[in-house]
Structure 1
Amino acid sequence: MARLNDEVGALLREYADLILLSGGNAFRARSYEKAARSVGGYPGDLAHLDEAGLRAIPGVGDSTAEKISEYLASGRMEALESLRAKIPPGVREVTQIPGVGPKTAVLLYRKLGIKSVDELRKAADAGKLKGLPGLGEKTVENIRHGIEQLSQASGRTLLSIALDLAEDLVAELGAVPGCKKCDYAGSLRRMRETVGDIDILATAKDSAPLMAALLARPEVADVIGSGTTKTSIRTDKGLQVDLRVVQPAEWGAALVYFTGSRAHNIKLRGRAVKEGLKLSEYGLFDVESGKKLASRTEKEVYAALGLPWIPPTLREDRGEIEAAADGALPDLVQLKDLRGDLHTHTDLTDGLAPLEVMLQTAADLGYAYYAVTDHAPNLAMQRMTDDKMLAQRARARDLDREYSGMRVLHGTELNIDAAGDVDWPADFLAGFDLCVASIHSSFGLDRAAQTKRLIRACENPHVNIIGHPTTRLLDRRPPIDADLDAVFAAAAHTGTALELNASPQRLDLTDDQAMAAQRHGVKFAINSDAHSTPALSNRRFGIATAQRAWLTKDDVINTWSLTRLRAFLRKPAVRGGGG
């Protein structure tokens, strides 16, 4: 079930969108967007706050606090419902297409009466978008591509959202009397960036109490089917959950069967067949005698096939079975290996918490070092100045002396402009402990231009990490078009790390891209890009991406000692590099 904070944040975000769609004040809409981020990132429970407590949340003013209080008391937000009545639901749906904002959605509605994604698709196919103000040939092509992306993502859920629900279900079902073991399986256990449904596996001699517990969950909107071995429901958010109950002795075989991708499982079964065996969710059997050889644990099943246990994040048939057979599986990087976070924000720019609070949360995570990297001035909306950044640096140096077990690094997130240049001259950049450089604008440049700007940023001797390299936002913005192989080669040559951005809305680079970059010799930084204290925990998603990319500790710079990290950050100048 979604956190109340996330639920209210989503409503405030919808309200901001509807303000823009109805022609309202853009500044007012932005204030509600900021409030939505603040509420979603607030670590406490909104249900325990009165209006004064709500107003204490950064970005939540009197009007917003009143709306939240109204919703907490009645389950309704009158102002939101009033705006909903003015805008056809499908018009906001159109804004979910990557690259289509409220202004374009309103234009399409007013000029062509388009109030759904399907209507927009038909209009584009019929050539009706040509000639509309601001919609050139390139924009129309981007809209087509965005519709295709949205269609591909339809019915899939972000990893973080699915994981929250799955962990809640596993905790509750695992506590049902008679349940011996309970865990999630499927693509969620493989930690794919989005999932189509949630597979829950449990063991019990009597499945009835478990099935009843699932059906009693408050988010159940529809019962697809229910029996003694499997129950399927659909939640009020449209996500399907399948609960399978097996006998305790079948746990290992079932977990293998329901975790691996289809291709992984086919290859495992093929390996079994060659040995005169049969593998199913019930166990591994000798075909001739029918004797069960293994089923109780995953390690037992893999061992009976002549293989070591294969981590779930690798079970995609990308060579993991062959590597296992050869004793060549990588020693994957683990969450416990992370010694620090090298990309975070505070309320000096668009973060929600002050530096002191972010640092204390990081220290509580056991980090050995932590970098604050607030936005640089070319991201104009953040209003950064030299004086503000220098004052923060002085404060960071003071705080560094207060933490005996954690070193405080002062950095910044620079903006890579269309030419590949970044904020501030070289002498100012030299004062930072590290610099992350990211693209925040000019997403529509052509392939050559995007490639050139990224390579130029890598060649800058003051740029240590390229942040969220492809700029994608899952379900909202497509990646830029760049020759990533050329970028990877440049990053490896210049000693520039590439980020595995752990924000579940980004997960950028992807696992496939990270695998390709690693082959070039690139090093990586697994960063939370946290704008609030809860978001520091996003690191688990970055670790998942790294594992799916077969990365080890040696590949990830923020698993290294501070001494080794500092040596890497002393990046040599590259002939011809940018300033």
Structure 2
Amino acid sequence: MPRPNDEIAAVLQEYADLMAITGGDAFKVRAYEKAARAVAGYPEDVSRLDETGLRAIPQVGRSIADKVVEYLRTGTIAAVEEARARIPAGVRELTAIPTLGPKRAQQLHERLHVSSVAELADAIHQGRLEDLRGFGPKSAENLLHGIALLQQSGGRVLLDTATETAEEVLAELSRITGCVRCGYAGSLRRMRETVGDIDLLVAAEDSAPFMEAFTALPHTAEVIARGGTKTSVRTTTGLQLDLRVLPPDSWGAGLQYFTGSKAHNIGLRTLALHHGLKLSEYGLFQAESGRPVASRTEEEVYERLGLPWIPPPLREDRGEITAGLHGELPQPVRQEDLRGDLHTHTDLTDGLAGLEEMVAAAARLGYSYYAVTDHAPNLFMQRMTDEKMLAQRERLRALDGAGRGRRMRLLHGTELNIDPEGGVDWPEEFLAGFDLCVASVHSHLTLSRAEQTRRLVHACENPYVNIIGHPTGRLIGRRPGIDADLDQVFAACARTGTALEINAQPDRLDLRDEDILRARRHGVVFAVDSDAHTIGALGAIRYGVATAQRGWLTKDDVLNAWPLTRLRRFLLAKRTVHA
């Protein structure tokens, strides 16, 4: 069940893509892309705004506001329908392939007459791309990888979409008389980066009112199955939701069982057998007598098995049961442990809110410190200059000075661009003026493994680079990460005192949890950052924290869970060694 903002943003983005396919004005395409991002990140429900309210959204002018009003009134936009009609459906299908842009999709359709993803895959395997100018062996390889990514994603949705849907449904179910407890389970509760379907649980004596309300939800498109204790529906966006109603006395056992993972549950059942017990979704029982032992809470179930309660993000059969038995289970970092955010943007570059607005929003989150890190000049589309950056620093210092009696301190940083050789924007004497520098790969994503590794290691060795931002550059389901020897990069980070970012944006979550586990063994420290470009996106930090938890990180592993004095010592350490 997408938010109206997300639904409208998707239509605006589609219109931008359709214009790009047909060679529309690049400025207009960019305007609609910015508007789509602005609408998606706007904190208010745009479906409740009139045209004046819509035009108050950054990047939304009269023409775009008129189209949004038209969509809200009729469910369609005539200009979008006309653009769709001008472009073969096959081309639109091809644009869903990660790494394939609209113009190249049009080229493939015109030259090879392919009209589907399957036809393109066949054409690549038959070698038909070899004679096309601009489509070499590397392009074919990337397209096949993109097709594989598309097929793997299937009907899976990003973590934020699944979370918002689950929370919206649970808010409705919690209002029904007789609801003792409710929550979500499955891969969503374990906070995996994508979710195939959503498991919802309710504890109640009578299931009927909940099943009735569940099937009557506004966005229910289809009732897949309906029973006394389990009902499944499909939403208008194709997402499957499964609701189970449990007896209140079985809540803990049911929550544990349906949270999974399957491998974790097998480990627990094996452990239960060693204790002469039997574990199921109904509870923990004596194997011989069937006498109930524990079921009301998860904590009871784990305790009876000789374990501490294991946080859901750790339940992936990665040694958590053994660690629990030996008293070695980490206390995962929590969102409330974070003292600040070290990677954010304003409208000086590609953000959608001003400096003062972003600072005020961060202060409302209760942070002790907050960094502004707008893009550096080598990302040419952002049109950054030395003068603009220095003027921003002066404004930020004034804000920081005005708030010295308050809780939150301000840090001036930048997001640098790592070039193919590992160099970054600005000479060292200019970089020395920043409180911190994030350095990220934004281009040349198809370099060889050796070249990508070398550029990242070189960036780590720069004395002014404190954090490697979104280290692999992946976009979940749309773009694979760069091919680099990450173990070499992790070793370089540990050696040079460079942190790795866990970028919290739901379509990035970069580093992945598997990579975090490996990097931690190298002795790397991390920064969990929002990379927010809007006020609303600051809240995405929750997904970065969840990914950090899945990587077994504690608050001692995370820079922005440290007090400001300790953070500043870390940021200055590389420069001191260099000096």
**What pairs with 1:268-307 in structure 2 (closer than 5 Å)?**
268-307=268-307
Larger mean Cα displacement after TM superposition, 295-304 or 503-512:
295-304
Asked whether the equivalents of residues 502 and 511 of structure 2 are also in contact (C-alpha less than 8 Å), the reply is: yes
Alpha-carbon distance, 1:574 to partner: 9.6
Correspondence for 2:227: 227
Give the whole-Å Cα distance in 2 for the aligned partners of 1:160 and 1:438. Answer: 23
Structure 2: 5+ residue stretches without partners? none
**Contact 1:460 1:574 (C-alpha < 8 Å) held by counterparts:** no
Structure 1 CA distance for aligned equivalents of residues 410 and 426 of structure 2: 22
Deviation at 1:573, TM superposition (A): 4.9
1:290-329 pair list within 5 angstroms: 290-329=290-329
1:472 lines up with 2:474 in the alignment: yes
Match of 1:185 in 2: 185
SS of alignment partner, residue 572 of structure 1: helix
Q: Which residue number corresponds to residue 486 of structure 2? A: 484
State TM-score, norm by structure 2: 0.98
What is the correspondence of 1:67-466 to structure 2 with a 5 Å cutoff?
A: 67-403=67-403, 404-466=406-468
AA of the residue aligned to 1:224: I
Moved more, 79-88 or 160-169: 79-88
Asked if the contact 1:17/1:92 (under 8 Å) is kept, the reply is no
Contact 2:90 2:109 in 1 (8 A): no
Taking a change above 3 Å as real, the CA distance of residues 401 and 13 of structure 1, as seen in their structure-2 partners, is same
Distance, in Å, in 2 between the alignment partners of 1:105 and 1:33 is 19
Percentage of matched positions with identical amino acids: 63
Q: CA RMSD in A?
A: 1.3
Within 2, Cα distance between the matches of 1:342 and 1:501?
10
Aligned-pair distance for 1:162?
0.3
Question: Is contact 1:462-1:571 (8 Å) kept?
Answer: no
- Whether 2:568 is the aligned partner of 1:566: answer yes
1:128 deviates by 1.7
Q: What is the Cα deviation at residue 236 of structure 1?
A: 1.1
Structure 2 counterpart SS, 1:408:
strand
Equivalent position SS for 2:284? strand
Whether the aligned pair in 1 keeps the contact of 2:372 and 2:411 (CA below 8 Å) is: yes
- In structure 1, give the amino acid aligned to 2:411: L
Q: Distance in 2 between matches of 1:364 and 1:416?
A: 33
Name the SS of the counterpart of 2:573 in structure 1. Answer: coil
**Residue type at the aligned position of 1:354:** G
Cα separation, 2, equivalents of 1:94 and 1:270: 47
Instruction: Tell me the alpha carbon deviations over residues 371-412 of structure 1, each in whole angstroms, 9 at most, x when there is no partner.
Output: 000000000000000000000000000000122211111000
Q: Is 1:38 matched with 2:44?
A: no
1:227: how far off? 0.4
Contact 1:459-1:574 at 8 Å conserved across structures: no
TM-score by length of 1: 0.98
The number of residue pairs the alignment matches comes to 577
- SS of residue matched to 2:574: coil
Please report how far the alpha carbon of residue 238 of structure 1 lies from its aligned counterpart in structure 2 after TM superposition.
Answer: 1.1
Gaps of 5+ in 1: none
Asked whether the 8 Å contact 1:252–1:298 carries over to 2, the reply is: yes
Instruction: Please give the per-residue CA displacement for 1:400-427, whole angstroms capped at 9, x wherever unaligned.
Output: 0122211111000000000000000000
| CA distance in structure 1 between the partners assigned to 2:92 and 2:574 by the alignment | 49
CA distance in 1, matches of 2:96, 2:438: 29
Q: Residues 153 and 393 from structure 1, CA distance in 2 versus in 1: closer, same or farther, beyond 3 angstroms?
A: same
Quote the Cα distance in structure 2 between the aligned partners of 1:116 and 1:479.
Answer: 25
SS at match of 2:309: coil
| Secondary structure in 2 matching 1:505 | coil
The one-letter code of the counterpart of 1:503 is Q
Structure 1 residues 31-70: aligned runs within 5 Å: 31-70=31-70
CA apart distance, 1:53: 2.5
